[in-house]
């Protein structure tokens, strides 16, 4: 699913990194747009996984003490609308598991992308991806700085080199 999204939906992005921990939590697909905005995509292949997602720590903010806040607010856990350091958030959901009732388990600002890999060409192009609901942008988010953009691009390049290493390993195993 991530490949279909990277090549189709986010094909104009500067960088797309799978299984990334850059934003201070794990995300399945991190997209860095040309305007240096971060999009977090959570890939879901089961209903249970989708329903459990909102309990992850990235969706919870623990309020810290600040001047002017009442003492009883310190330590209170409140839900986040967007994860930290994210401009937009999407759920990419496998088409066979989707029902309209699952929308209630997605955050109010999160977009929903339905991915049907059974459609011919869906793993290579945007075919097979339907926008159920567009993501709402986090208007308080600011673009990444150059250091962050380089760090994300470095992760992508390391993944590329890891993929080359895996290919070489497979070639060696095939010839022996």
pLDDT tens for 127-168 read 688 899 999 999 999 999 999 888 888 888 888 888 888 889
Q: Point out the least confidently predicted range of 29-38, 79-88, 147-156.
A: 147-156
Residue closest to 92 by CA, chosen among 45, 139, 52, 22: 45
Cα 95 to the center of its chain, rounded Å: 17
d(CA 4, CA 95): 13
pLDDT digits (tens, 9 = 90+) for 42-60: 999 999 999 999 888 889 8
Question: Greater confidence, 81 or 2?
Answer: 81
Q: What are the extents of the domains in the chain?
A: 2-53+79-175
| Under 8 Å between Cβ of 82 and 137 | no
H-only helix segments in 63-145 = none
Cross-strand bridge partners of residue 131? 113
Pairing of strands 88-94, 38-44: parallel
Cα 5 to the center of its chain, rounded Å: 11
What percent of the chain clears pLDDT 70, i.e. is strictly above it? 89
> To the nearest whole number, what is the mean pLDDT of the chain?
86
Long-range contacts made by residues 18-22, C-beta under 8 angstroms, separation at least 24?
A: 18/159, 20/152, 20/155, 22/148, 22/151, 22/152, 22/155
Global model pTM greater than 0.85:
no
Residues near 18 by Cβ (< 8 Å), separated by ≥ 6? 2, 28, 29, 30, 159
């Amino acid at each position: 699913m991530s490949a279909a999204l990277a090549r189709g939906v986010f094909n104009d992005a500067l960088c797309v990194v799978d299984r990334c921990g850059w934003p201070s939590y794990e995300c399945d697909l991190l997209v860095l747009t040309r305007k240096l905005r971060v999009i977090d995509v959570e890939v879901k292949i089961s209903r249970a996984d989708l329903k459990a997602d909102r309990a992850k720590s990235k969706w919870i903010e623990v309020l810290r003490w600040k001047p002017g806040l009442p003492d009883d607010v310190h330590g209170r856990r409140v839900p986040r609308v967007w994860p930290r350091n994210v401009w937009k958030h999407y759920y990419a959901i496998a088409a066979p598991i989707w029902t309209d009732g699952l929308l209630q388990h997605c955050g109010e600002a999160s977009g929903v992308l339905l991915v049907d890999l059974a459609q011919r060409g869906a793993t290579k192009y945007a075919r097979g991806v339907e926008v159920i609901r567009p993501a709402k942008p986090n208007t308080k988010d600011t673009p990444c700085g150059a250091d962050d953009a380089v760090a994300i691009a470095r992760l992508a390049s390391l993944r590329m080199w890891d993929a080359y290493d895996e290919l070489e390993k497979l070639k060696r195993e095939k010839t022996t």
